[in-house]
Structure 1
Amino acid sequence: MEHREEDVRLGANKYSERQAIGIAAQSEDKDYKEPPPAPLFEPGELMSWSFYRAGIAEFVATFLFLYITVLTVMGVSKSDSKCSTVGIQGIAWAFGGMIFALVYCTAGISGGHINPAVTFGLFLARKLSLTRAVFYMVMQCLGAICGAALVKAFGKTLYQTKGGGANVVNVGYTKGDGLGAEIIGTFVLVYTVFSATDAKRSARDSHVPILAPLPIGFAVFLVHLATIPVPGTGINPARSLGAAVIYNNEQAWKDPWIFWVGPFIGAALGALYPQVVIRAIPFKSK
Protein backbone atom coordinates (compact mmCIF):
# COMPACT_ATOMS: atom_id res chain seq x y z
CA MET A 1 0.00 0.00 0.00
CA GLU A 2 2.85 2.35 0.83
CA HIS A 3 4.50 1.67 -2.51
CA ARG A 4 1.25 2.38 -4.32
CA GLU A 5 0.86 5.74 -2.56
CA GLU A 6 4.46 6.60 -3.49
CA ASP A 7 3.77 5.76 -7.14
CA VAL A 8 0.69 7.96 -7.14
CA ARG A 9 2.61 10.84 -5.54
CA LEU A 10 5.43 10.59 -8.08
CA GLY A 11 3.04 10.31 -11.00
CA ALA A 12 1.10 13.38 -9.90
CA ASN A 13 4.25 15.49 -9.75
CA LYS A 14 6.06 14.11 -12.77
CA TYR A 15 4.88 16.91 -15.06
CA SER A 16 4.76 20.61 -14.32
CA GLU A 17 1.36 22.20 -13.76
CA ARG A 18 2.55 25.12 -15.87
CA GLN A 19 2.20 23.04 -19.02
CA ALA A 20 -0.93 23.57 -21.09
CA ILE A 21 -3.74 21.09 -20.67
CA GLY A 22 -3.50 18.31 -23.22
CA ILE A 23 0.27 18.50 -23.78
CA ALA A 24 1.59 17.58 -20.33
CA ALA A 25 2.33 14.03 -21.43
CA GLN A 26 4.01 15.15 -24.64
CA SER A 27 7.76 14.82 -24.71
CA GLU A 28 9.95 17.59 -26.12
CA ASP A 29 12.31 14.86 -27.32
CA LYS A 30 9.97 13.77 -30.10
CA ASP A 31 11.61 12.83 -33.37
CA TYR A 32 11.41 16.30 -34.90
CA LYS A 33 13.84 18.72 -36.48
CA GLU A 34 13.01 22.23 -37.59
CA PRO A 35 13.33 22.21 -41.39
CA PRO A 36 15.99 24.62 -42.67
CA PRO A 37 14.77 27.80 -44.40
CA ALA A 38 14.54 27.66 -48.16
CA PRO A 39 17.23 29.64 -50.02
CA LEU A 40 16.17 33.00 -51.38
CA PHE A 41 17.31 32.09 -54.87
CA GLU A 42 17.66 28.51 -56.05
CA PRO A 43 18.79 28.51 -59.72
CA GLY A 44 19.03 24.72 -59.69
CA GLU A 45 15.23 24.53 -59.54
CA LEU A 46 15.02 25.86 -63.09
CA MET A 47 16.72 22.69 -64.33
CA SER A 48 14.36 20.36 -62.51
CA TRP A 49 11.24 18.83 -64.04
CA SER A 50 9.59 18.72 -60.59
CA PHE A 51 9.75 22.54 -60.52
CA TYR A 52 7.75 22.87 -63.75
CA ARG A 53 5.46 20.00 -62.81
CA ALA A 54 4.57 21.89 -59.61
CA GLY A 55 3.84 25.04 -61.62
CA ILE A 56 1.59 23.10 -63.99
CA ALA A 57 -0.25 21.64 -60.98
CA GLU A 58 -0.83 25.16 -59.64
CA PHE A 59 -2.10 26.30 -63.05
CA VAL A 60 -4.55 23.42 -63.43
CA ALA A 61 -5.76 23.65 -59.82
CA THR A 62 -6.44 27.39 -60.07
CA PHE A 63 -8.09 26.88 -63.46
CA LEU A 64 -10.48 24.31 -61.99
CA PHE A 65 -11.03 26.45 -58.90
CA LEU A 66 -12.19 29.45 -60.96
CA TYR A 67 -14.25 27.31 -63.29
CA ILE A 68 -16.32 25.68 -60.54
CA THR A 69 -16.63 28.68 -58.24
CA VAL A 70 -17.41 31.37 -60.83
CA LEU A 71 -19.86 29.03 -62.54
CA THR A 72 -21.59 28.59 -59.16
CA VAL A 73 -21.71 32.38 -58.70
CA MET A 74 -23.22 32.80 -62.17
CA GLY A 75 -25.84 30.16 -61.41
CA VAL A 76 -26.96 32.14 -58.36
CA SER A 77 -26.77 35.51 -60.15
CA LYS A 78 -28.94 34.52 -63.12
CA SER A 79 -31.93 33.56 -60.95
CA ASP A 80 -34.45 36.16 -59.82
CA SER A 81 -35.17 34.16 -56.68
CA LYS A 82 -32.21 33.12 -54.56
CA CYS A 83 -34.44 30.51 -52.94
CA SER A 84 -34.34 28.49 -56.17
CA THR A 85 -30.52 28.41 -56.13
CA VAL A 86 -27.80 27.31 -53.76
CA GLY A 87 -27.58 30.90 -52.49
CA ILE A 88 -24.70 32.43 -50.54
CA GLN A 89 -24.25 29.24 -48.53
CA GLY A 90 -23.83 27.26 -51.74
CA ILE A 91 -21.29 29.73 -53.09
CA ALA A 92 -19.32 29.48 -49.85
CA TRP A 93 -19.42 25.68 -50.05
CA ALA A 94 -18.23 25.78 -53.67
CA PHE A 95 -15.17 27.83 -52.71
CA GLY A 96 -14.38 25.86 -49.56
CA GLY A 97 -15.13 22.48 -51.11
CA MET A 98 -12.96 23.10 -54.15
CA ILE A 99 -10.05 24.24 -51.99
CA PHE A 100 -10.41 21.07 -49.91
CA ALA A 101 -10.43 18.85 -53.01
CA LEU A 102 -7.67 20.67 -54.89
CA VAL A 103 -5.31 21.01 -51.92
CA TYR A 104 -5.78 17.30 -51.31
CA CYS A 105 -4.94 16.53 -54.95
CA THR A 106 -1.94 18.83 -55.36
CA ALA A 107 -0.37 19.03 -51.89
CA GLY A 108 2.15 16.31 -52.72
CA ILE A 109 3.16 17.97 -55.99
CA SER A 110 3.25 21.72 -55.43
CA GLY A 111 2.09 22.13 -51.84
CA GLY A 112 -1.44 23.01 -53.01
CA HIS A 113 -1.23 26.80 -52.70
CA ILE A 114 -3.79 27.79 -55.40
CA ASN A 115 -3.52 31.36 -54.12
CA PRO A 116 -0.76 34.00 -54.50
CA ALA A 117 -1.45 35.21 -50.95
CA VAL A 118 -0.78 31.74 -49.52
CA THR A 119 2.38 31.51 -51.63
CA PHE A 120 3.48 34.94 -50.36
CA GLY A 121 2.90 33.94 -46.74
CA LEU A 122 4.88 30.73 -47.14
CA PHE A 123 7.66 32.67 -48.87
CA LEU A 124 7.88 35.10 -45.95
CA ALA A 125 8.28 32.12 -43.64
CA ARG A 126 11.05 30.83 -45.94
CA LYS A 127 9.12 27.69 -46.83
CA LEU A 128 9.94 28.14 -50.51
CA SER A 129 12.38 30.14 -52.62
CA LEU A 130 11.63 33.44 -54.35
CA THR A 131 12.13 31.68 -57.68
CA ARG A 132 9.38 29.18 -56.94
CA ALA A 133 7.11 31.77 -55.32
CA VAL A 134 7.15 34.04 -58.40
CA PHE A 135 6.63 31.07 -60.73
CA TYR A 136 3.68 29.84 -58.69
CA MET A 137 2.03 33.27 -58.66
CA VAL A 138 2.34 33.63 -62.43
CA MET A 139 0.88 30.16 -63.04
CA GLN A 140 -1.94 30.76 -60.55
CA CYS A 141 -2.94 34.01 -62.26
CA LEU A 142 -2.82 32.41 -65.72
CA GLY A 143 -4.91 29.48 -64.49
CA ALA A 144 -7.47 31.84 -62.97
CA ILE A 145 -7.81 33.82 -66.20
CA CYS A 146 -8.31 30.64 -68.23
CA GLY A 147 -10.87 29.28 -65.74
CA ALA A 148 -12.94 32.47 -65.86
CA ALA A 149 -12.65 32.52 -69.68
CA LEU A 150 -14.15 29.02 -69.88
CA VAL A 151 -17.13 30.12 -67.78
CA LYS A 152 -17.66 33.10 -70.10
CA ALA A 153 -17.51 30.76 -73.11
CA PHE A 154 -20.61 28.97 -71.80
CA GLY A 155 -22.70 32.14 -72.02
CA LYS A 156 -21.10 35.46 -72.92
CA THR A 157 -24.28 37.54 -72.56
CA LEU A 158 -25.16 36.06 -69.18
CA TYR A 159 -21.58 36.44 -68.01
CA GLN A 160 -21.38 40.12 -68.95
CA THR A 161 -24.81 41.07 -67.60
CA LYS A 162 -24.49 39.26 -64.26
CA GLY A 163 -21.16 40.60 -63.07
CA GLY A 164 -18.83 37.86 -64.26
CA GLY A 165 -18.06 36.79 -60.71
CA ALA A 166 -15.82 39.86 -60.31
CA ASN A 167 -15.05 41.13 -56.82
CA VAL A 168 -16.44 44.55 -55.94
CA VAL A 169 -17.16 46.34 -52.66
CA ASN A 170 -20.91 46.06 -52.28
CA VAL A 171 -23.28 48.97 -51.77
CA GLY A 172 -23.46 50.11 -48.16
CA TYR A 173 -19.81 49.34 -47.42
CA THR A 174 -16.75 51.54 -47.76
CA LYS A 175 -13.38 50.74 -49.32
CA GLY A 176 -12.01 50.51 -45.80
CA ASP A 177 -14.62 47.88 -44.97
CA GLY A 178 -13.63 45.88 -48.03
CA LEU A 179 -9.93 46.16 -47.26
CA GLY A 180 -10.45 45.12 -43.64
CA ALA A 181 -12.55 42.12 -44.68
CA GLU A 182 -9.83 41.01 -47.10
CA ILE A 183 -7.06 41.40 -44.52
CA ILE A 184 -8.84 39.49 -41.76
CA GLY A 185 -10.20 36.84 -44.12
CA THR A 186 -6.78 36.12 -45.59
CA PHE A 187 -5.24 36.08 -42.11
CA VAL A 188 -7.69 33.35 -41.10
CA LEU A 189 -6.83 31.34 -44.21
CA VAL A 190 -3.03 31.63 -43.99
CA TYR A 191 -2.96 31.05 -40.23
CA THR A 192 -4.99 27.88 -40.80
CA VAL A 193 -2.57 26.78 -43.53
CA PHE A 194 0.40 27.15 -41.19
CA SER A 195 -1.36 25.38 -38.33
CA ALA A 196 -2.62 22.49 -40.46
CA THR A 197 0.76 21.88 -42.11
CA ASP A 198 3.02 22.43 -39.10
CA ALA A 199 5.61 19.63 -39.11
CA LYS A 200 6.18 19.98 -35.36
CA ARG A 201 2.49 19.54 -34.71
CA SER A 202 2.47 16.39 -36.84
CA ALA A 203 5.36 14.95 -34.83
CA ARG A 204 4.00 16.02 -31.43
CA ASP A 205 0.38 15.10 -32.05
CA SER A 206 0.90 12.01 -34.18
CA HIS A 207 -1.81 10.31 -32.13
CA VAL A 208 -4.33 12.88 -33.42
CA PRO A 209 -4.96 12.26 -37.13
CA ILE A 210 -5.55 15.42 -39.18
CA LEU A 211 -6.18 15.83 -42.88
CA ALA A 212 -4.66 19.24 -43.65
CA PRO A 213 -6.91 20.12 -46.63
CA LEU A 214 -10.01 19.77 -44.44
CA PRO A 215 -9.41 22.69 -42.02
CA ILE A 216 -8.06 24.79 -44.89
CA GLY A 217 -11.21 24.19 -46.92
CA PHE A 218 -13.39 24.95 -43.91
CA ALA A 219 -11.50 28.20 -43.31
CA VAL A 220 -12.23 29.29 -46.89
CA PHE A 221 -15.89 28.27 -46.50
CA LEU A 222 -16.37 30.20 -43.27
CA VAL A 223 -14.60 33.33 -44.51
CA HIS A 224 -16.80 33.38 -47.62
CA LEU A 225 -19.91 32.81 -45.55
CA ALA A 226 -19.03 35.83 -43.41
CA THR A 227 -17.70 38.30 -45.98
CA ILE A 228 -19.49 37.64 -49.29
CA PRO A 229 -21.91 40.50 -48.44
CA VAL A 230 -18.98 42.94 -48.00
CA PRO A 231 -16.48 42.71 -50.88
CA GLY A 232 -17.75 39.51 -52.49
CA THR A 233 -14.79 37.80 -50.78
CA GLY A 234 -11.54 37.67 -52.66
CA ILE A 235 -8.81 36.49 -50.22
CA ASN A 236 -7.14 35.24 -53.40
CA PRO A 237 -5.55 37.78 -55.79
CA ALA A 238 -5.51 35.27 -58.66
CA ARG A 239 -9.25 34.63 -58.29
CA SER A 240 -9.97 38.38 -58.30
CA LEU A 241 -7.64 39.06 -61.23
CA GLY A 242 -8.97 36.21 -63.37
CA ALA A 243 -12.60 37.33 -63.04
CA ALA A 244 -11.69 41.01 -63.56
CA VAL A 245 -9.64 40.36 -66.71
CA ILE A 246 -12.33 38.28 -68.39
CA TYR A 247 -15.26 40.42 -67.25
CA ASN A 248 -13.26 43.54 -68.21
CA ASN A 249 -15.86 46.04 -67.09
CA GLU A 250 -15.37 49.41 -65.42
CA GLN A 251 -16.98 48.03 -62.28
CA ALA A 252 -14.42 45.20 -62.06
CA TRP A 253 -11.50 47.65 -62.28
CA LYS A 254 -12.97 50.15 -59.84
CA ASP A 255 -11.05 49.04 -56.73
CA PRO A 256 -8.77 46.16 -57.81
CA TRP A 257 -6.04 47.18 -55.35
CA ILE A 258 -8.22 46.13 -52.42
CA PHE A 259 -8.11 42.51 -53.60
CA TRP A 260 -4.32 42.53 -53.84
CA VAL A 261 -3.21 44.75 -50.96
CA GLY A 262 -5.69 43.23 -48.48
CA PRO A 263 -4.78 39.58 -49.10
CA PHE A 264 -1.04 40.28 -49.08
CA ILE A 265 -1.24 42.18 -45.78
CA GLY A 266 -3.42 39.43 -44.30
CA ALA A 267 -1.01 36.76 -45.59
CA ALA A 268 1.97 38.54 -44.02
CA LEU A 269 0.18 38.73 -40.66
CA GLY A 270 -1.01 35.13 -40.99
CA ALA A 271 2.57 33.97 -41.60
CA LEU A 272 4.25 36.06 -38.91
CA TYR A 273 1.79 35.25 -36.12
CA PRO A 274 2.38 31.47 -35.98
CA GLN A 275 6.10 31.78 -36.71
CA VAL A 276 6.97 34.69 -34.41
CA VAL A 277 4.32 34.58 -31.66
CA ILE A 278 3.16 30.97 -31.45
CA ARG A 279 6.39 29.17 -32.38
CA ALA A 280 8.81 32.02 -31.51
CA ILE A 281 11.22 30.58 -34.09
CA PRO A 282 13.32 33.78 -34.53
CA PHE A 283 14.06 33.82 -30.78
CA LYS A 284 15.12 30.22 -30.36
CA SER A 285 18.79 29.48 -29.83
CA LYS A 286 20.51 27.48 -32.52
Structure 2
Amino acid sequence: METSKFSKFTAEFLGTLVLVLMGCGSAVIAGANGTTGVGLLGISFAFGLSVIAMAYAIGHISGCHINPAISIGMVVAGRMKITEALYYIVAQILGAIAGACILLHIASGKPEYSLAVNGLGQNGFDALSLQHYSLHAGFLAEIVLTFIFLLVIFGATSTKNINGGFAGLAIGLSLVLIHIVGIPVTGVSVNPARSIGPALIVGGEALSQLWLFIVAPVIGAILSAIVWRFVLERN
Protein backbone atom coordinates (compact mmCIF):
# COMPACT_ATOMS: atom_id res chain seq x y z
CA MET A 1 0.00 0.00 0.00
CA GLU A 2 1.36 3.40 -1.00
CA THR A 3 1.92 5.91 1.77
CA SER A 4 -0.44 8.89 1.54
CA LYS A 5 0.78 12.40 0.79
CA PHE A 6 -0.57 13.57 4.13
CA SER A 7 1.47 10.93 5.99
CA LYS A 8 4.60 11.98 4.13
CA PHE A 9 3.89 15.66 4.74
CA THR A 10 3.37 15.01 8.46
CA ALA A 11 6.51 12.89 8.68
CA GLU A 12 8.64 15.59 7.05
CA PHE A 13 7.07 18.26 9.26
CA LEU A 14 7.76 16.34 12.47
CA GLY A 15 11.20 15.21 11.39
CA THR A 16 12.36 18.75 10.61
CA LEU A 17 10.79 20.02 13.82
CA VAL A 18 12.84 17.51 15.81
CA LEU A 19 16.04 18.37 13.93
CA VAL A 20 15.72 22.09 14.68
CA LEU A 21 14.52 21.61 18.26
CA MET A 22 17.25 19.14 19.20
CA GLY A 23 20.07 20.43 17.02
CA CYS A 24 19.65 24.15 17.59
CA GLY A 25 18.42 23.43 21.10
CA SER A 26 21.73 21.79 21.96
CA ALA A 27 23.44 25.10 21.17
CA VAL A 28 20.90 27.36 22.88
CA ILE A 29 20.02 25.29 25.94
CA ALA A 30 22.91 22.88 26.48
CA GLY A 31 25.38 25.60 25.50
CA ALA A 32 28.71 25.79 23.75
CA ASN A 33 30.57 27.44 26.62
CA GLY A 34 31.21 26.85 30.27
CA THR A 35 32.02 23.78 32.33
CA THR A 36 28.46 22.43 32.05
CA GLY A 37 28.09 23.01 28.30
CA VAL A 38 28.21 20.21 25.77
CA GLY A 39 30.67 22.11 23.56
CA LEU A 40 30.90 22.14 19.78
CA LEU A 41 31.41 18.38 19.66
CA GLY A 42 28.21 17.84 21.61
CA ILE A 43 26.28 20.17 19.31
CA SER A 44 27.67 18.30 16.30
CA PHE A 45 26.44 15.00 17.70
CA ALA A 46 23.04 16.50 18.56
CA PHE A 47 22.41 17.31 14.89
CA GLY A 48 23.69 13.94 13.72
CA LEU A 49 21.79 11.94 16.33
CA SER A 50 18.60 13.83 15.44
CA VAL A 51 18.95 12.66 11.84
CA ILE A 52 19.70 9.09 12.89
CA ALA A 53 16.69 8.97 15.20
CA MET A 54 14.35 10.42 12.59
CA ALA A 55 15.74 8.20 9.83
CA TYR A 56 14.56 5.13 11.72
CA ALA A 57 11.35 6.80 12.92
CA ILE A 58 10.02 8.19 9.63
CA GLY A 59 12.40 6.91 6.96
CA HIS A 60 9.97 4.20 5.88
CA ILE A 61 7.22 6.83 5.52
CA SER A 62 8.83 9.73 3.67
CA GLY A 63 12.46 8.79 3.25
CA CYS A 64 13.34 11.27 6.01
CA HIS A 65 14.60 14.10 3.85
CA ILE A 66 13.85 16.81 6.46
CA ASN A 67 15.90 19.12 4.27
CA PRO A 68 14.87 20.99 1.08
CA ALA A 69 18.36 20.54 -0.37
CA ILE A 70 17.95 16.77 -0.17
CA SER A 71 14.53 16.87 -1.83
CA ILE A 72 15.88 19.07 -4.63
CA GLY A 73 18.88 16.79 -5.01
CA MET A 74 16.60 13.77 -5.30
CA VAL A 75 14.70 15.48 -8.13
CA VAL A 76 17.92 16.21 -10.02
CA ALA A 77 19.14 12.66 -9.42
CA GLY A 78 15.92 11.31 -10.91
CA ARG A 79 14.70 9.72 -7.70
CA MET A 80 11.76 12.02 -7.02
CA LYS A 81 9.11 13.97 -8.90
CA ILE A 82 9.23 17.73 -8.58
CA THR A 83 5.57 17.90 -7.53
CA GLU A 84 6.27 15.61 -4.59
CA ALA A 85 9.40 17.56 -3.70
CA LEU A 86 7.42 20.79 -3.49
CA TYR A 87 5.10 19.62 -0.73
CA TYR A 88 8.05 18.01 1.05
CA ILE A 89 9.77 21.42 1.09
CA VAL A 90 6.66 23.17 2.42
CA ALA A 91 6.40 20.60 5.23
CA GLN A 92 10.09 20.96 6.05
CA ILE A 93 9.98 24.75 6.29
CA LEU A 94 6.84 24.70 8.44
CA GLY A 95 8.40 22.04 10.67
CA ALA A 96 11.56 24.11 11.09
CA ILE A 97 9.55 27.18 12.05
CA ALA A 98 7.53 25.14 14.56
CA GLY A 99 10.72 23.67 16.03
CA ALA A 100 12.26 27.15 16.39
CA CYS A 101 9.07 28.45 18.07
CA ILE A 102 9.07 25.59 20.58
CA LEU A 103 12.76 26.19 21.28
CA LEU A 104 12.13 29.89 21.86
CA HIS A 105 9.39 29.17 24.39
CA ILE A 106 11.54 26.65 26.25
CA ALA A 107 14.63 28.87 26.27
CA SER A 108 12.57 31.86 27.42
CA GLY A 109 11.81 29.97 30.61
CA LYS A 110 15.28 30.94 31.84
CA PRO A 111 15.34 34.55 33.14
CA GLU A 112 18.81 35.20 31.73
CA TYR A 113 17.86 34.18 28.21
CA SER A 114 17.70 36.91 25.56
CA LEU A 115 16.68 36.28 21.96
CA ALA A 116 18.87 39.18 20.80
CA VAL A 117 21.92 37.93 22.73
CA ASN A 118 21.57 34.13 22.78
CA GLY A 119 19.64 33.66 19.53
CA LEU A 120 18.18 30.35 18.33
CA GLY A 121 21.21 28.68 16.80
CA GLN A 122 20.86 30.68 13.59
CA ASN A 123 23.53 30.52 10.89
CA GLY A 124 25.71 33.44 9.85
CA PHE A 125 28.94 34.76 8.39
CA ASP A 126 31.24 37.71 9.17
CA ALA A 127 30.12 39.09 12.56
CA LEU A 128 27.55 36.29 12.97
CA SER A 129 30.14 33.56 12.35
CA LEU A 130 31.49 31.94 15.52
CA GLN A 131 35.04 32.69 14.40
CA HIS A 132 34.15 35.56 12.03
CA TYR A 133 34.62 33.74 8.73
CA SER A 134 33.87 35.82 5.63
CA LEU A 135 30.92 35.59 3.26
CA HIS A 136 33.18 33.95 0.65
CA ALA A 137 34.39 31.32 3.10
CA GLY A 138 30.89 30.64 4.34
CA PHE A 139 29.44 30.33 0.85
CA LEU A 140 32.14 27.90 -0.26
CA ALA A 141 31.86 25.88 2.95
CA GLU A 142 28.11 25.46 2.61
CA ILE A 143 28.38 24.35 -1.02
CA VAL A 144 31.16 21.82 -0.35
CA LEU A 145 29.69 20.47 2.90
CA THR A 146 26.26 20.02 1.31
CA PHE A 147 27.89 18.34 -1.69
CA ILE A 148 29.59 15.83 0.61
CA PHE A 149 26.43 15.30 2.68
CA LEU A 150 24.30 14.54 -0.39
CA LEU A 151 26.97 12.24 -1.77
CA VAL A 152 26.76 10.14 1.39
CA ILE A 153 22.95 10.13 1.15
CA PHE A 154 22.94 9.02 -2.49
CA GLY A 155 25.44 6.26 -1.79
CA ALA A 156 23.88 5.05 1.45
CA THR A 157 20.38 4.87 -0.05
CA SER A 158 21.40 3.40 -3.40
CA THR A 159 19.69 0.15 -4.35
CA LYS A 160 23.16 -1.14 -5.20
CA ASN A 161 24.35 -0.68 -1.62
CA ILE A 162 24.17 -4.03 0.20
CA ASN A 163 24.47 -2.22 3.54
CA GLY A 164 21.36 -0.09 3.00
CA GLY A 165 20.00 -0.98 6.44
CA PHE A 166 22.70 1.20 7.95
CA ALA A 167 21.88 4.21 5.75
CA GLY A 168 20.46 6.26 8.62
CA LEU A 169 23.56 5.68 10.71
CA ALA A 170 25.94 6.62 7.90
CA ILE A 171 23.98 9.76 7.03
CA GLY A 172 23.71 10.90 10.64
CA LEU A 173 27.38 10.36 11.37
CA SER A 174 28.35 12.22 8.20
CA LEU A 175 26.32 15.18 9.50
CA VAL A 176 28.27 14.99 12.77
CA LEU A 177 31.53 15.15 10.82
CA ILE A 178 30.29 18.10 8.76
CA HIS A 179 29.32 20.00 11.91
CA ILE A 180 32.66 19.38 13.59
CA VAL A 181 34.38 21.16 10.71
CA GLY A 182 31.72 23.70 9.79
CA ILE A 183 30.31 25.08 13.07
CA PRO A 184 33.14 27.62 13.50
CA VAL A 185 32.56 28.86 9.92
CA THR A 186 28.78 29.31 9.61
CA GLY A 187 27.21 27.27 12.39
CA VAL A 188 26.48 24.78 9.56
CA SER A 189 23.28 24.83 7.59
CA VAL A 190 23.49 22.40 4.64
CA ASN A 191 19.72 22.62 5.09
CA PRO A 192 17.68 25.69 4.06
CA ALA A 193 14.76 24.78 6.34
CA ARG A 194 17.04 24.47 9.38
CA SER A 195 18.25 28.02 8.64
CA ILE A 196 14.88 29.53 7.77
CA GLY A 197 13.16 28.56 11.03
CA PRO A 198 15.51 30.28 13.50
CA ALA A 199 16.28 33.25 11.20
CA LEU A 200 12.61 34.17 10.76
CA ILE A 201 12.17 34.42 14.52
CA VAL A 202 15.49 36.09 15.35
CA GLY A 203 15.17 38.55 12.45
CA GLY A 204 17.62 41.40 11.93
CA GLU A 205 21.02 40.52 10.52
CA ALA A 206 20.33 36.79 10.75
CA LEU A 207 17.41 37.26 8.36
CA SER A 208 19.45 39.46 6.02
CA GLN A 209 22.08 36.71 5.72
CA LEU A 210 19.55 33.92 5.21
CA TRP A 211 19.90 33.99 1.41
CA LEU A 212 23.33 32.34 1.63
CA PHE A 213 21.94 29.39 3.58
CA ILE A 214 19.28 28.84 0.98
CA VAL A 215 21.33 29.35 -2.19
CA ALA A 216 24.60 27.60 -1.23
CA PRO A 217 23.06 24.32 0.03
CA VAL A 218 20.85 24.10 -3.05
CA ILE A 219 23.87 24.59 -5.33
CA GLY A 220 25.81 21.95 -3.39
CA ALA A 221 22.90 19.51 -3.61
CA ILE A 222 22.44 20.00 -7.36
CA LEU A 223 26.16 19.54 -8.04
CA SER A 224 26.23 16.40 -5.92
CA ALA A 225 23.18 14.97 -7.70
CA ILE A 226 24.74 15.62 -11.10
CA VAL A 227 28.02 13.96 -10.12
CA TRP A 228 26.22 11.00 -8.59
CA ARG A 229 23.79 10.47 -11.47
CA PHE A 230 26.04 11.07 -14.44
CA VAL A 231 29.48 10.09 -13.13
CA LEU A 232 29.47 7.79 -10.12
CA GLU A 233 26.32 5.72 -10.74
CA ARG A 234 26.38 5.89 -14.49
CA ASN A 235 25.92 2.46 -16.11
Structure 2 portions without partners, runs of 5+? none
Structure 1 portions without partners, runs of 5+? 1-47, 203-207, 282-286
Q: Which residue of 2 aligns with 1:191?
A: 151
d(CA) in 1 for partners of 2:227, 2:53: 27
d(CA) in 1 for partners of 2:101, 2:13: 14
Q: Indicate whether 1:167 and 2:123 are aligned.
A: yes
Taking structure 1 as reference, are residues 215 and 194 closer, same or farther at Cα in structure 2, changes over 3 Å only? Answer: same
Q: TM-score, length-normalised on structure 1?
A: 0.75
Encode CA deviations 1:177-200: one digit per residue, 9 max, x unaligned. Answer: 000110011111100000001102
Q: TM-score, length-normalised on structure 2?
A: 0.91
- Report the identity percentage: 35
Alignment of 1:245-264 (within 5 A): 245-248=200-203, 250-264=204-218
User: 1:174 is matched by which residue type in structure 2?
Assistant: S
Q: Which residue of 1 aligns with 2:7?
A: 53
d(CA) in 2 for partners of 1:125, 1:104: 23
User: Larger radius of gyration, structure 1 or 2?
Assistant: 1
Q: Which residue of 2 aligns with 1:36?
A: none
Shift of 1:254: 2.8
Larger proportion of helix: 2
Taking structure 1 as reference, are residues 83 and 189 closer, same or farther at Cα in structure 2, changes over 3 Å only? Answer: same
Q: Which residue of 1 aligns with 2:93?
A: 141
Indicate if the aligned counterparts of 1:66 and 1:239 stay in contact, CA closer than 8 A. yes
Q: Which residue of 1 aligns with 2:106?
A: 154
User: 2:137 is matched by which residue type in structure 1?
Assistant: D
Aligned residues: 226
RMSD: 1.7
Q: Which residue of 2 aligns with 1:223?
A: 178
Encode CA deviations 1:49-107: one digit per residue, 9 max, x unaligned. Answer: 61111111000111111111121111244x7x433211000000000010011012111
4+ residue segments displaced more than 2 Å? 81-84
d(CA) in 2 for partners of 1:233, 1:219: 13
Q: Which residue of 1 aligns with 2:229?
A: 275
d(CA) in 2 for partners of 1:264, 1:54: 21
d(CA) in 2 for partners of 1:62, 1:172: 28
User: 1:167 is matched by which residue type in structure 2?
Assistant: N
Shift of 1:201: 2.5
